[in-house]
Amino acid sequence: MLVEIDAQRCTGCGVCVRVCPQKVLYLRDGKAVVKHPERCIGCFGCEDECPVGAARVVRAPRGMETPEVSAPRGSACDVAVIGAGPSGLAAALTCARAGLDVMVFERLPRRGIGHHPDGGLLVAPPGMEPRVGDGGISFPGLDISLRMDALRRCAEVGLVGPDGMRSGSRVPEEAPAWVVDKDALLRALAEEAQAAGARLFYGSRVTDLVRRGEAVGGVVLEGGERIRSRVTVCAEGVGAGMSIKAGFPVRRGPGAWHSHLVCAVFDNREGAAGALYYINGQLDRFGGQQAFAAVGVGERVQVMLIFLSRTRFYPAGEPMSSYIERFLREDKRLGNLLPGAVADRPVETITGCRSIIRDSWVGDMSGDGVVIIGDTWVHSGELGNVPSMANGVHAGRVIIEAARHNDFSRQRLAGVNTFISKNLLGALQANRNAKLLPGLVSEEDMRMIFAFLEKLDYPLLFFGNDAQRRRMFLRFLLRNLHRFILHPRLGRLALGG
């Protein structure tokens, strides 16, 4: 990774130094200075939080060929999309297929690089389940088919607690459960969008919005170039900088939690079946923080450590990579989760990201000349790969209808809000609560929560049908009846509430 500091802009406020989880920067003579560039994991903390735009991160994985960066041709389009993640690319693909002129702007240097590791589990809403065949994966409910082979059937999804306590984790064989390589998914989506006619510009950072009266009328790139559009799609992720500039009430106030994630990536040379595990409890010795961990097994193996904080600043004393190295060496639970002796092998890559877990979601995703999609509006920190794609497709269809009427007013674009459902919000709330458990309960309470969770067949929450989930919850309640009587609050937390 490469971190650049513009000394002329830098005011020496020190924000970039305090947010960096790798201790890459320090202050010298009233200016931020790059001291350890080799530590940078590309989390974009310094770039996102610098109040004067003096920090710039070029996220270039080791061995990556020349970045895919090209200047936009022309200064206008029908649809300007900010962000080439699952939601932005799905919106671009949908609009381009309908003949709209689409331009996508992504600050990362090339396709096939994800902003954040997520384990790769594909959890799909009903009717959007993936189908896997020779040479690819399709999502019939979204009218998306992708040519890719970086797929692995998911055999286990589970929760792991103190002393190896764990929920049920075996995924039913008939379940449409797959683990995908996130980078391969983004590359395949980008190729489909480009084949449909969308123009993709990597290494293109959007820093502001063009205004057309009160409406949004396009984007402003880092070099000052203005790209006019009939509608702008803000799909920049959880940071939601452009969504906030567009006037959406994306909250980052005192009710928010901030997370700092570091991920060690290994090759899956053993060819182990796909899996995803979340680990809670007994993590205080790895940084002394409110923390949880995760292990994702797919084409690659990802081991993630996540610190929670009530402020945007990195809360620990050492670089985060040193804590995950200690976690890999010392946490005995990993031996039962990782294929082979992964922890004894060299790490292929160390990467990371930052996220915000907000206290409320954005209820209206439409504005005059603009919509927001994907992680920009959620309060759980992430929407998930398939729901993000579904959100992008849904927004794209609304935009196509608006184009037929040549009307991109807030009222015409308000159809994007019908994507939000009670079931989706319930799942996002449960996801949010699960992430915040380390910040809400003591180690003793965490142990009791896992006494509840040992009776839970966790994969059925994602892949069971309605009848299977009803039977599972009934068994869970009956087996934990005495615990619910003695510990009602912890029982509710165990259920995601």
- Where residue 27 sits, what CATH number does that domain have? 3.30.70.20
Of 57-66, 92-101, 159-168, 413-422, least confident by mean pLDDT is: 57-66
Rounded Cα distance between 420 and 75, Å, is 33
Mean pLDDT (whole number) for 350-354: 91
For residue 389, being part of any structural domain is answered with yes
Rounded to the nearest 10 degrees, what angle do helices 443-453 and 422-440 cross at?
Answer: 140
Residues 91 and 205 in one domain: yes
259-306 residue pLDDT tens = 999 999 998 888 888 999 999 999 988 877 799 999 999 988 999 999
For residue 388, being part of any structural domain is answered with yes
Residues 351 and 483 in one domain: no
For residue 174, being part of any structural domain is answered with no
pTM: 0.94
For residue 217, being part of any structural domain is answered with yes
Burial class of residue 229 in the structure, from the number of CB atoms within 10 Å of its CB (0-12 exposed, 13-18 middle, 19+ buried):
buried
Query: For all residues of the chain together, what is the average pLDDT?
Result: 91
19-76 residue pLDDT tens = 999 999 999 999 999 999 999 998 999 999 999 999 988 765 444 445 576 767 778 9
Residues 365 and 445 in one domain: no
Single-letter amino acid code for the residue at 263? C
Mean pLDDT (whole number) for 95-103: 98
The domain that holds 201 is classified in CATH as: 3.50.50.60
Residues 105 and 193 in one domain: yes
Show which of 328, 357, 386 is a domain's final residue.
Answer: 357
Q: Which of 29, 30, 413, 3 is nearest to 20 (CA)?
A: 3
Residues 104 and 207 in one domain: yes
pLDDT band at 497 (very low <50, low <70, confident <90, very high): low
Residues 342 and 364 in one domain: no
Residues 320 and 464 in one domain: no
For residue 7, being part of any structural domain is answered with yes
Look up the domain containing 30 and give its range.
2-58
Show which of 342, 357, 372 is a domain's final residue.
Answer: 357
Residues 324 and 458 in one domain: no
Residues 43 and 82 in one domain: no
Q: Which of 458, 406, 37, 455 is nearest to 276 (CA)?
A: 458
Residues 297 and 397 in one domain: no
Burial class of residue 345 in the structure, from the number of CB atoms within 10 Å of its CB (0-12 exposed, 13-18 middle, 19+ buried):
middle
First to last CA, the chain: 39
Q: Give kind and range of the element (H or E) at residue 232.
A: strand 226-234
Structure tokens at 222: 């880092």
Rounded Cα distance between 218 and 226, Å, is 7
Residues 208 and 290 in one domain: no
Residues 377 and 403 in one domain: yes
Show which of 375, 399, 420 is a domain's final residue.
Answer: 420
